[in-house]
Amino acid sequence: MSDWYSDADLDLKVAELKINGYAVFEGLIPAGTIDSIRAAFTPLLEQLRVRETQIHPTERGEVKTGLGRQQFANRYTLHVPWQPPFAEPAIYEHPGLLAFFERYWGSDDFQITCYHSNNPYPGSQYQPWHRDIGLLAPGVGLQTCPHFGIKFPLVDTCEENGSFEVLPGSQYLADSGLEGRYDEFLRQGHFPSTHRLNLKKGTLWIQDPRTLHRGTPNRSDHARPELVLCFSRSWFAVRHPLELSRAEFGKLSERGRKLLARSRVV
């Protein structure tokens, strides 16, 4: 048990994740920490935006100088370098967060496998409804997911600046007849439980990547950056290992080294 969350609090959050396909931890990150991250992140993101004038199917560049792409019009993805102020132990080693995963998975055998970001700028439109990973077993909605996105926006998110939209409970949907047609049905049909995650800065939330979701139009005058740390069970394969310098690896705590054990030290 951590001294930050009681067992009852953790059980409730785990139930939220299992039932809704996401769980929200409001006020987990101090606003000042988010502001420092945003101040350092904005120039990196702007550099990418100026460079990536075309929509591109694959990411380009290097993590240090901006590995990413324009995914849809005015919507940019960008990897986040593992260095201060982005690599913040108060976030990725937060005792409440780690206790949450240990409770959900019943194990501490998990690692951080990716650090990236989703950034709709003014003028971005609806994404198609989608999942971020396929079901591991065709036709079966497994009760436990081995891989999660840990997300935190760098600004308050709202309907105007393109807050994230989810269809709660859809993480277990395993009907091959619907696969590939989610956007068609969700755009046309009646789905009253769709939900916009309008979040205060400092909120961290956990997304089951199987849950149907989409980005929404940003009609504000500012970007809506959100950083994403991926936490995965040790057996879950990831394509590109996270990279960090020897100096950054040297700064890690004992738990940090376990969490970053699958990274490439360069």
Output 5 or 202, the one with its CB closest to ligand AKG.
Answer: 202
Site size toward ligand AKG (CB under 6 A) is 9
Residue 132 near ligand AKG by CB under 6 A: yes
Output 91 or 212, the one with its CB closest to ligand AKG.
Answer: 212
Q: Among all residues, whose Cβ is closest to ligand AKG?
A: 215
Output 113 or 118, the one with its CB closest to ligand AKG.
Answer: 118
Q: Note whether 101 and 259 are within 8 A (CB).
A: no
Output 5 or 182, the one with its CB closest to ligand AKG.
Answer: 182
Output 5 or 217, the one with its CB closest to ligand AKG.
Answer: 217
Task: Pick one of 20, 113, 118, 161: the residue that binds ligand AKG (CB under 6 A).
Answer: 118
Task: Pick one of 13, 38, 94, 213: the residue that binds ligand AKG (CB under 6 A).
Answer: 213
The 3-state secondary structure of the chain, one letter per residue: CCCCCCHHHHHHHHHHHHHHCEEEECCCCCHHHHHHHHHHHHHHHHHHHHHCCCECCCCECCCCCCCEEEEECCEEEEECCCCCCCCCHHHHCCHHHHHHHHHHHCCCCEEEEEEEEEEECCCCCCCCCECCCCCCECCECCCCCCEEEEEEECCCCCCCCCCEEECCCHHHCCCCCCCCCHHHHHHHCCCCCCEEECCCCCCEEEECCCCCEECCCCCCCCCCCEEEEEEEECCCCCCCCCEECHHHHHCCCHHHHHHCCCCEEC
Task: Pick one of 226, 229, 242, 244: the residue that binds ligand AKG (CB under 6 A).
Answer: 226
Site string for ligand AKG, 154-173 (x = CB under 6 A): --------x-x---------
Give min distance, CB of 164 to ligand AKG, in A.
Answer: 5
Residue 120 near ligand AKG by CB under 6 A: yes
- Six-digit token pair at 105? 């998975």
Task: Pick one of 21, 68, 215, 217: the residue that binds ligand AKG (CB under 6 A).
Answer: 215
Output 5 or 205, the one with its CB closest to ligand AKG.
Answer: 205
Distance CA 198, CA 150 (A): 16
Residues 45-104 that bind ligand AKG (CB under 6 A): none
Q: Which positions touch ligand AKG (CB under 6 A)?
A: 118, 120, 127, 132, 162, 164, 213, 215, 226
